[in-house]
Amino acid sequence: MSYNHPLIAREGWPYLAGIGAVTLLVQSLGGFIFAWPFWLIFLFVLQFFRDPPRLVPLAENAVLAPADGRIVVVEKTADPYADRQALKISIFMNVFNVHSNRIAVNGRIKKIQYFEGKFVNADLDKASTENERNAIVLEANGHDITLVQVAGLIARRILCYVRVGDQVKKGERYGFIRFGSRVDVYLPLTAEPLVTVGDRVSATSTILATLPNLDG
């Protein structure tokens, strides 16, 4: 699989450059005994912005995880972005997860909606409706698939790189959320979930659900 992105996400380069410069300055002035806390911070930020390539499963009709993390919701509820009832699967990302967001299905971007909001803990259900968030609705072989990036308690910046009308493929990188967050996935009610609350998932590698006739 071709993944045309650096192993350390570009979104983190300014942070790493700044922290790295301060760390080297402290070490040059006071030695490692004073610099080691700064090295720990540097290593933490380095791991946060890692962005490894992932293999796309070959299974047909598969809806892939758009993010790394832990499943916190699997339920039938309203999808306010596509105006329908849907199967909702939510993934909570802590600060140790990869925060690059990836496309779950092959399709076309049908709608994008951004909402300003609060920054409550993304592990809570109310984060889906109260927090800053960015929703994209994809049309995939006649099915609407909604992916919602939700800011968390610490996250203050949602980045989305796709536009309405873009054709996208499974596993493609479409966004990033800095420092702890959540992604909500809304699927047609005919989808069959393959995960349960508490499961750990990996973006692209994990199949969240199957959806009949998704791939034609």
- Active site amino acids: 181
Q: Which two tokens stand for residue 79?
A: 């999808």
Rounded Cα distance, 76 and 60, in Å: 23
Rounded Cα distance, 76 and 190, in Å: 11
How far does the chain reach from its first CA to its final CA, in angstroms? Answer: 22
Grouping H, G, I as helix, E, B as strand and the rest as coil, residue 36 is helix
List all residues 6 or more positions away from 101 whose beta carbon is below 8 Å from its beta carbon: 66, 67, 147, 149, 173, 174, 175, 176, 177, 183, 203
Residue 30, CA distances (Å) to 22, 36, 41, 42, 81 in order: 12, 10, 17, 17, 54
Query: What kind and span of H or E run contains 84?
Result: strand 84-93
